[in-house]
Structure 1
Amino acid sequence: MWDIFWLMLWFAYLTAYIYVVVLIISDLFRDTALSGWWKAVWIVFLVFVPFLTALVYLVARGSGIADRAGRGRGVVAEADDYRPRASASPSEDIAQAKALLDAGTISQGEFEALKSKALGNQYFGA
């Protein structure tokens, strides 16, 4: 029974260590201030003295890991484009949609959706 316990414990430690190494390597490649030579030095030390290097890296550069990870997530400025917004000139947008409806280009449902979007309604058909 204790053998299974120790095996599970070592597996948990190994999984956590692999996670930390992947975190460090991804942080190294995300960092634009660090030169390529320093990145290579960190990776070489991670290969030859892995546990000590991981601890030193987390202590020495750990405060900037969250900042560098956060910079990559905020790249897309149009994150809220899925919500309809009020138009700058709703009457023009509705007139264009009505012209498309009269020409037979769009259906009545599509016209209602465009009208709703131009008016800035949160729900279609509201």
Structure 2
Amino acid sequence: MSSYPLLNAFLTILWFFLWVLWFMLLFKVVFDIFRDDRLSGWAKAGWMVFVCVLPFVGVFVYLVARGRGMGERDLRHAQAQERAFRSYVQEAAAGGPAPGMSRADELTKLAGLHDHGDITDAEYEAAKAKVLVS
């Protein structure tokens, strides 16, 4: 028989999840401090010192003072990521060059595909003309 009662196991699990919740909140606040473009470097440093030296008080004061804007900043960040993703997908679907590839790289890749017989002469000429036009 175990000497660790069920209630103690429940309390241990509760404390563990509260501890995980605390760290999630702490990291959320730290990421929000660094994500906010309207804060100056000194203000970011001040908030970080406050959050690191007095973590419980610092996090709760931050939530009271700047908590309303956290959701707005998260929304703006998510919208910017969505716009960037959509732009990338549209560029890729349009057949634009891959990020970091020059025209010479694209032509080299096309020549390799043509030499291996993966594309026909007509496809090679059409793709080459498309690369040279863009």
TM over 0.5: yes
Task: Indicate how the Cα distance of structure 1 residues 79 and 24 shifts in structure 2: closer, same or farther if over 3 A, else same.
Answer: farther
The unaligned stretches of length 5 or more in structure 1 are 87-99, 119-126
Which one of 6, 11, 18 corresponds to residue 11 of structure 2? Answer: 6
Q: TM-score, length-normalised on structure 1?
A: 0.59
Aligned Cα RMSD in Å?
A: 3.2
Percent identity over paired residues: 32
Residue 106 of structure 1 deviates from its aligned partner by: 6.9
Which one of 43, 60, 69 corresponds to residue 64 of structure 1? Answer: 69
For 2:29 and 2:58, locate their aligned partners in 1 and report how far apart those are by CA, in whole Å: 10
Q: Which runs of structure 2 are paired with 1:52-91 in the superposition (5 Å)?
A: 52-69=57-74, 70-71=76-77, 73=81, 74-76=83-85, 77-83=87-93, 85=94
Q: Which runs of structure 2 are paired with 1:1-126 in the superposition (5 Å)?
A: 1-69=6-74, 70-71=76-77, 73=81, 74-76=83-85, 77-83=87-93, 85=94, 104-105=114-115, 107=117, 110=119
The unaligned stretches of length 5 or more in structure 2 are 1-5, 96-109, 128-134
Name the structure, 1 or 2, with higher relative contact order (CA <8 Å, separation 6+).
1
Whichever structure has more helix as a proportion of its residues is: 2
Query: Deviation string for 1:73-92 (max 9, x for gaps)?
Result: 24453134444x49xxxxxx
Residue 49 of structure 1 deviates from its aligned partner by: 2.4
Residue 2 of structure 1 deviates from its aligned partner by: 1.3
